Amino acid sequence: MGQTGKEKNFISCVVYLHDDEAVVRDFLGRICGVMQDNFEKYEIICVNDGCMDGTVEQIHAFLDEMETSGGQTRSVSLINLSFYQGVETAMNAGGDLAVGDFLFEFDRCCPDFEPELIMEVYRRALEGYDVVSAAPKRGVPLSSRVFYALYNWSSHFRVRIRQERFRIVSRRAVNRVNQMNVYVPYRKAMYMNCGLKTDTLVYENRDMGKQTRNREERGNRSGLAVDTLIIFTDILEKFSMLVSAILLGFMVIMFAWIIYSIFSTVRPVEGWMSIMSLMSLGFFMLSLMLTLIFKYLAVILNMSFKRQRYVVEGVEKLTK
């Protein structure tokens, strides 16, 4: 604690924004209030990921209102991406600009938690955890539950993941992840499995109503889910092995039937057994080859990810 009774650690808050006009002012108000009351030094970095509504105007209106009412906001920056690039790319851009000892990442502008939860997560981090997440207890969409179930079932990592509202990451964890790979395809998985201590606080979230996503955002998140399962899990290998096992079992049954028919009075249609046996063997070998290919690709993906790419139109310093 400093002489003012506030925390001396420098805190960076990265906020992802994509068409959040309706909630951005309330959301920023919560974050700014917590930062002002508890920290001597902090910065807020808003990442505008191709907003097509009045989100940016609402940010300026919020800051004007803060200044008029006598409120002080230490540092607020706005990263304007050149076009919509998705939450992971946008948050990587914000993280690269952040300089804090601790980094708060708000992947979604959803104020369904009490502001005190931010400090609970921070205090938990001070207990020796490099990554601490806040996860809602209710309201997780079915598609998200299916994704996390598949991920946790097929992942070779030790730590299980779930839907989160935000997280705090120490500078050590950020550096560790950046050293692991140049490109960070899915931050949550990288953070939770970087080898440092992690924890998750589950909270009773308020009912904020269903937040809709446009087709572009739904498509991006669906693509991200598929990429994540391919990169971080062995689901393709397991699926291919399952298919191979089924085909192998079918082939064994066919050969057993052939042997049985030789020593019995049952006479199948001429040529049917040989064709089915050949097809079973062919499909089994094809499935086995696909399993080996998936394994080979998995090794390549684990050895190296593609380089990070994001296109920034400009960075605005919104406060002095």
Q: Each residue's pLDDT tens digit in the chain (320 positions)? A: 655 688 999 999 999 999 899 899 999 999 999 999 999 999 999 999 989 989 999 999 988 887 776 555 568 899 999 889 888 889 999 999 999 999 999 998 888 899 999 999 999 999 999 999 999 988 888 888 999 998 888 887 777 888 999 999 999 999 888 877 656 678 888 888 788 899 999 998 876 555 666 677 777 778 778 777 877 777 777 877 787 787 777 778 777 777 777 777 666 656 666 676 667 667 767 777 777 676 666 656 655 554 445 556 557 777 65
Query: What integer pLDDT is reported at residue 285 of this predicted model?
Result: 73
Query: What integer pLDDT is reported at residue 47 of this predicted model?
Result: 95
User: What are the structural domain ranges in the chain?
Assistant: 11-233+307-317, 235-303
**For domain 11-233+307-317, which architecture applies?**
Alpha-Beta Complex (3.90)
Query: What integer pLDDT is reported at residue 308 of this predicted model?
Result: 47
What count of other Cβ atoms lies within 10 Å of the Cβ of residue 132? 24
pTM: 0.76
Query: What integer pLDDT is reported at residue 254 of this predicted model?
Result: 74
Query: What integer pLDDT is reported at residue 195 of this predicted model?
Result: 82
Query: What integer pLDDT is reported at residue 269 of this predicted model?
Result: 58
